[in-house]
Amino acid sequence: MAAVSRGSVRINVEECKGCGLCVDSCPPKCLALAPELNAYGVHPAHYAGEGCTGCGICFYCCPEPGAITVYRMPAPPRATEAAHATTL
Ligand code: SF4
Ligand code: SF4
């Protein structure tokens, strides 16, 4: 069973320079370089659409400001909190 994504990334393909640092640094390997070219003539990074943990490593290693944005999903309520909420 695939792990639930705890984060997501948005890549601005026209800011990306295709260096691949984010691809190499992503622990769950959910980034890759896209087959198509951007306006700079490079292959921009592409998110597979699932598997992101929201760790932010790709954001911190990217040399291009604005090329990659990380979103973290809110944590689901723990079982005890969910049970308490249903009894109120
Ligand atoms: S936030 Fe972490 S898991 Fe998500 S794409 Fe970036 S490096 Fe990969
Ligand atoms: S590290 Fe930044 S510039 Fe390099 S491929 Fe990833 S998003 Fe593009």
Residues 4-16 have pLDDT tens digits of: 789 999 999 999 9
Atom of ligand 2 nearest to the CA of 20: 5
C-alpha to C-alpha distance for 57 and 22, rounded to whole angstroms? 8
Domains, the chain, ordered by start? 7-87 (3.30.70.20)
Which pLDDT score is estimated for 88?
Answer: 54
- For the cut 60, the answer to whether the pLDDT of residue 1 exceeds it is no
- Burial class (CB within 10 angstroms; exposed 0-12, middle 13-18, buried 19+) of 58: buried
25 contact partners, CB below 8 Å, separation of at least 6: 57, 58, 61
- For the cut 70, the answer to whether the pLDDT of residue 21 exceeds it is yes
Could you tell me the pTM of the whole model? Answer: 0.84
pLDDT in tens, 34-86: 999 999 999 999 999 999 999 999 999 999 999 999 999 887 677 666 566 55
**Which of 5, 6, 9 has the most ligand 1 atoms within 8 A of CB, as the residue to mutate?**
9
